[in-house]
Structures are given as C-alpha cells and as structure tokens.
Amino acid sequence: MTTKRKTLLISFSGLDGSGKSTQITNLVRALHASGYRTKQLAFWDNVVVGSRYREGFVHKAYKSQKGIGAPGKPVERRDKNVRRWYLTLARHLLYFLDAVHLRFVVGSARRTGADVVILDRYIYDELANLPLSSSFTRAFVRFVNAWVPKPDVAYLLDADPEAARARKPEYPVDFMRECRRSYKNLAMLLGGITIIPPLELEAAKTAVLRAFERKASLRPAAQPASEVQPAA
C-alpha cells in the first residue's frame, strides 16, 4: 500500500529584482529531476482579489506607469509606495480578503495531485507593506499569519536595494531600502521564514536547494516529474 505524500507548500518573497523568478525556475528544475510534480502559482494573478481593478485604480488615481521595469527602460510605479492613511486602512481590509482567498487557492492547488505547490510571492509581501511600527498592525499581521496556510519553506530573498533596482527599475531606492527593513522586521515578528542573503547567483541557488532538502530530503516521487496543469 502506497502512503500519499504530503503536498509541500513553498513560497518566495522579496524585493522586486531580488531574483525570485530565477530561483523558482532553478528549484522547479531540481524538483522535476528528483521526480516531484509541481504546480506554480503567482500571488498577484492567482490569489489577489480583484487584481485588475486594483491595478487600474492606481494607474488612474496616482498616474502609475504600466509595464515592468527593465535595465535601460525604467518604469515609475506609484502603488504600494503611496503611503496615505486611508490607503493603509484599505490595505488592511484588502489584504485580509486576499488571505481568505489564499486559503482557498492553496487548498485547490493541493488537490491537483502536485507534490509541491510553489507561490511566486505570498501574503508576506503584502504584510511587509504595512506599518509594522503600529501595535494594531502587528496584531493584524499575527492574526493573518495564523489564518493562512503556513509554507513548509517560506523563502525571503534578501537583496541590496541598489542592485535590485538596477535589475528592475520601478521604485525609488529609498522606498526599496524601507521595504528591505520591513521584510526583515516581518521575518523577526513571525518567525519561520528562511532568509537567503544577497549572494552570487550560483551560491543563492545552492542555498535555496539546501533549504528545501532540509525539509523534504529530495527523495524521488512515485510518479514521473511534470508540472501539474490547471483543470480545464
């Protein structure tokens, strides 16, 4: 009799330009080579409630530029870096709705037969955008963290803000420095987050793989490796 393996949940968080996509691609390749079936999700596309409307609002209300910044082609984003009191209040509500939907999305993904569900960004990327100096916000963050599924490995890819902006020029460096501090403060507040320090690419890949190996030992899966596709 074959025992059903627990579906592992892996999340990647960090500054824009910290290398999340690169590390996810490398991890998926390693998992497939070891026989794991994976399902990948993007937090903004698959979890965030009303993402199109929220994006449209900031483009219209705050003249945020569209597109993704690239070296030589900077984009001036105005969304999460707009810090007005009423937006902070609205973020608390919206992030809670996202947390509720996250439970549903992760539950559905685990029922697809995947051995590993990987999320590009997680609720942590939203919570890090809240004023953690507020006692109310810290209580809210703890509540949300207790509500959502806890990743088996939650990666926080630390990055030098200047280097991250050079790779993905979208937000001012001062704001990115503030975000970096907030991510680290969130990790200290919640615990259980694996911080990958700023490293050369190959060293970072090794650190990510070792963190996964400590959790799952990379033992072969019973089924051929593949990426699980969403149901039609």
Q: What is the pLDDT of residues 200-219, one digit of tens each?
A: 999 999 999 999 998 876 44
d(CA 7, CA 215): 12
Q: Where are the domains of the chain?
A: 8-216
List beta partners, residue 194: 155
Q: Are 83 and 183 in contact (CB under 8 A)?
A: no
Give this prediction's pTM: 0.89
Reported as a single tens digit per residue, the pLDDT across 93-109 is 999 999 999 999 999 99
The reply to whether CATH 3.40.50.300 applies to domain 8-216 is yes
Give the orientation angle of helix 135-147 with respect to helix 85-110, to 10 degrees.
10
Listed range (22-26, 184-188, 199-203, 216-220) with the worst mean pLDDT: 216-220
Reported as a single tens digit per residue, the pLDDT across 57-68 is 777 777 777 778
